[in-house]
Structure 1
Amino acid sequence: MNRTILVPIDISDSELTQRVISHVEAEAKIDDAEVSFLTVIPSLPYYASLGLAIPQNYRQWMI
């Protein structure tokens, strides 16, 4: 039987993410399961507070 493991991860906590990945890898090897990771990216105001906002002239770099 094929199964898929959906794993929610928090990309802001790399230590926890590494522990989760190790555990999921071991689980997936038991019956050759497929693993899919899911993360939610915070809204733009969060990134803007980190200085990662989209610049006003972003269109000039678009292809």
Structure 2
Amino acid sequence: MTTTELTRVVAATRELLAAQGQASRAAWLEEREHTLRTADSPETIESTIAELHSIVLGMGGIFD
């Protein structure tokens, strides 16, 4: 998956969370989305991807 594709997935997930009243989770994803869009180094992208991987998997379902 490219960074552009990942950014699109993060944006879609953020929009879905926001629509379901999960404002804090949506805001968290928005920050990572911004980082992916504006990253100035591969290391920043890699650390953001690692953070997304570790946190998003633990978020559970939207309706938790």
Give the TM-score range, shorter chain: 0.3 to 0.5
Higher strand share: 1
TM-score (normalised: structure 2): 0.37
Higher helix share: 2
* Structure with greater contact order relative to length (CA < 8 Å, sep ≥ 6): 1
Of the two, which has the highest radius of gyration? 1
Give the TM-score taking structure 1 as reference length: 0.37
